[in-house]
Amino acid sequence: MASTSFIIVAIDGGAASGKSTSSRTLSEQFNLLHVDTGSFYRAVTAEFLRRGISPGDLAAVQAAVAGLDLGTRIVGRSAQMEIGGRVVPEAEIRSREVNDHVSHFAALPEVRTALLAYQRHQAEVARAGGFRGLVMEGRDIGSVIFPNATFRFFLHADPQERARRRAREGGNDSIAERDRLDSSRKTAPLACPDGAISIDTTHLSLAEVVDTMAVPISARLAS
């Protein structure tokens, strides 16, 4: 008999490591809510920049996070963050200004703490939406947000290959610098958590990356 239990798939990795495309594909394949936590940090960053708050002004950051009115809208199979009832447009969260600031805001414990419960709450959003589970991508999902996730994957690839992928997507992103900041911060740094399944995607096609994760997920859902 196929399992009816709710599953959580955590996918962590650096910028352009293959997380986004593979987590979207898994969400389609297994009816999982897709949650891109990078987009949450980006939305909050866009909001702070809109209000003229800099990452160095801790008092302003603290006041702003305390007053954030966060909601979630499901668009297709993806969870989108609402701030004050508004979804920050994609063009804004992928802008150069947000690219340049997001790692600085994401390094602040005040910001990470404010988003912790919100990210965990996505499991309830997925249940209420009738999903089979959720696939959440980020930097600290398997280490901090869902350390007991059903599956924890960590994707990595050579820096040159990641730069090529980002260029192919038309990105203008300094991924090496963001990875340096994300890996060296004190709170929840980017790292492969103990016990996670580490996948080197440098020489794998997207289909091969997805298969590496889909095989154990299928087996679990069929058991």
Judged by the rule CB under 6 A, the positions of this chain that interact with ligand DC are 15, 37-38, 41-42, 102-103, 106, 138-141, 178, 182
Query: What are the CA-CA distances from residue 10 to residues 20, 35, 141 (Å)?
Result: 12, 10, 6
Closer by beta carbon to ligand DC, 47 or else 182? 182
- As beta bridge partners, residue 80 has 73
Closer by beta carbon to ligand DC, 40 or else 131? 40
Provide, rounded to whole angstroms, the least separation between the CB of residue 200 and ligand DC: 19
Phi, psi (degrees; rounded to nearest 5) at 7: -115, 150
Closer by beta carbon to ligand DC, 193 or else 220? 193
Which among 169, 189, 183, 82 has a CA at the least distance from the CA of 125? Answer: 82
Please name the amino acid found at residue 44: V
Provide, rounded to whole angstroms, the least separation between the CB of residue 18 and ligand DC: 11
Residue whose token pair is 């492969």: 192
Query: What are the CA-CA distances from residue 111 to residues 33, 117, 142 (Å)?
Result: 24, 11, 19
Closer by beta carbon to ligand DC, 4 or else 148? 148
Separation of alpha carbons 44 and 104, rounded Å: 12
Closer by beta carbon to ligand DC, 109 or else 219? 109
Query: What are the CA-CA distances from residue 181 to residues 14, 92, 119, 165 (Å)?
Result: 11, 22, 21, 20
Phi, psi (degrees; rounded to nearest 5) at 194: -55, 130
Residue length of the chain = 223
Closer by beta carbon to ligand DC, 77 or else 122? 122
How far does Cα 61 stand from its chain's mean position? 21
Residue whose token pair is 């239990």: 5
Provide, rounded to whole angstroms, the least separation between the CB of residue 222 and ligand DC: 30
